């Protein structure tokens, strides 16, 4: 399995990282377009300077089967986020992190070096992919780290695991770098996103972003061993009372992209963090079966489902940074029970 970034010259990859870093000077890395100079310690919506902070780097078995295989995904869980979902299960690192001080040049380079070393370590542990989790607000730092990691021997593909709130100019710098895009399409209606995730124009930005991802990598392609080679795998998390706008999102996938686009229809919602009515319950079997019926009606061909009978009920605990995930997210046999094709 060959990573796409290996086909780019080192000078080109460095150039991409430099171009991305320049966006920090009047930050428009993500759709918030805060306009602050993160290189001088200013912070916008995400609260981050140009210091790259990774809260946890772990071998993870909780993703979809083509991404897990026997070795799992080496996930880098980035600190902070460009969304404020009331029900975020990773709230300890996405919302409750400590504010950064203005880093020195030496500290900056150390964070890039450290992140590169974490990617290489995970490769040595036998993972099939490196996953950048919630990367939208720190793409420049991740690209700088990737340059170093490639020099250190990193050879496995990159998964861009995102909430979908991504800016097109930033994504274009990842063309030929990212092998697998794993975006959420959380909401069909931006008014809903504003109310419970506290952001503007989510539906518009996320759809533009996913179309660009699809342009770059096409539909998900699997190898003979069942592992993903490259492509797009869209996630959609069902919310109670139809708040996610599932029918509209499925129509967008089937009609504006292709029925062959791989879709992960997720039933794992749990009312955590600040979730309140009507988000104060899990989804029902009837709600999930209704969503599955919608995919059949639209002719969606490649569907990954989560078993309602074997749902993962433990939540990550990022106070334990070395192993924040419960046993059922770090054992391959449990993952097989949760996901169905």
| Residue 174 confidence (pLDDT) | 98
CA atoms within 13 A on the CB side of 215: 11
What is the enclosing helix (H) or strand (E) of 332?
A: helix 332-338
Range of the domain at 28: 4-340
What CATH number is given to the structural domain containing 236?
3.20.20.70
Q: What share of the chain is helix, strand, coil (3-state, %, to 5)?
A: 40, 15, 45
Structure tokens that stand for 149 in this block: 């990691």
For 155-166, b/e burial (b = at least 16 CB within 10 A) is ebbbbbbbbbbb
Query: What's the whole-model pTM score?
Result: 0.93
Please spell the DSSP secondary structure of 113-153, one letter per residue: HHHHHHHHHHHHTT-SEEEEES-TT-HHHHHHHHHHHHHTT
Beta strand segments in 94-246, E: 129-133, 158-162, 180-183, 221-222, 228-237
Please tell me the distance from the alpha carbon of residue 64 to that of residue 304, in angstroms, as a whole number.
7
Number of domains into which the chain is organized: 1
| Residue 339 confidence (pLDDT) | 58
pLDDT tens digit sequence for 77-111? 999 999 999 999 988 899 887 776 666 777 878 99
With a cut of 50, which residues of the chain have pLDDT below it?
327-334, 336-337
| Residue 102 confidence (pLDDT) | 63
| Residue 328 confidence (pLDDT) | 45
């Amino acid at each position: 399995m060959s990573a796409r970034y290996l086909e780019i010259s080192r000078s080109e990859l460095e150039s991409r990282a430099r171009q991305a870093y320049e966006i920090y000077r009047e930050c428009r890395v993500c759709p918030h377009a805060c306009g602050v100079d993160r290189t001088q310690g200013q912070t916008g919506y995400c609260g981050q300077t140009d210091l790259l902070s990774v809260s946890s780097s772990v071998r993870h078995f909780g993703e979809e089967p083509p991404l897990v295989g026997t070795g799992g995904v080496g996930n880098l869980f980035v600190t902070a986020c460009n969304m404020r979902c009331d029900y975020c299960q990773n709230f300890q690192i996405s919302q409750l992190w400590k504010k950064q001080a203005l880093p020195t040049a030496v500290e900056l380079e150390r964070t890039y070096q450290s992140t590169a070393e974490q990617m290489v370590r995970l490769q040595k542990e036998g993972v099939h992919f490196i996953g950048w989790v919630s990367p939208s607000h720190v793409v420049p730092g991740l690209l700088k780290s990737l340059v170093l990691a490639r020099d250190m021997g990193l050879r496995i593909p990159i998964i861009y695991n995102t909430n979908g709130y991504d800016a097109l100019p930033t994504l274009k710098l990842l063309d030929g770098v990212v092998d697998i895009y794993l975006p959420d399409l959380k909401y069909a209606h931006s008014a809903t996103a504003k109310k419970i995730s506290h952001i503007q124009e989510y539906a518009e930005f996320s759809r533009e972003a996913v179309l660009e991802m699809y342009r770059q990598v096409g539909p998900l392609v699997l190898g003979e061993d069942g592992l993903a080679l490259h492509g797009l795998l869209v996630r959609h998390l069902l919310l109670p009372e139809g708040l996610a706008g599932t029918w509209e999102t499925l129509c967008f996938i089937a009609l504006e992209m292709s029925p062959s686009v791989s879709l992960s229809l997720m039933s794992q919602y749990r009312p955590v963090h600040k979730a309140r009515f009507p988000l104060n319950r899990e989804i029902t079997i009837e709600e999930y079966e209704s969503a599955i019926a919608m995919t059949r009606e639209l002719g969606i061909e490649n569907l990954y489902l989560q078993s309602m009978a074997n749902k993962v009920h433990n939540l990550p605990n990022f106070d334990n940074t070395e192993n924040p995930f419960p046993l059922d997210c770090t054992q391959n046999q449990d993952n097989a029970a949760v996901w169905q094709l």
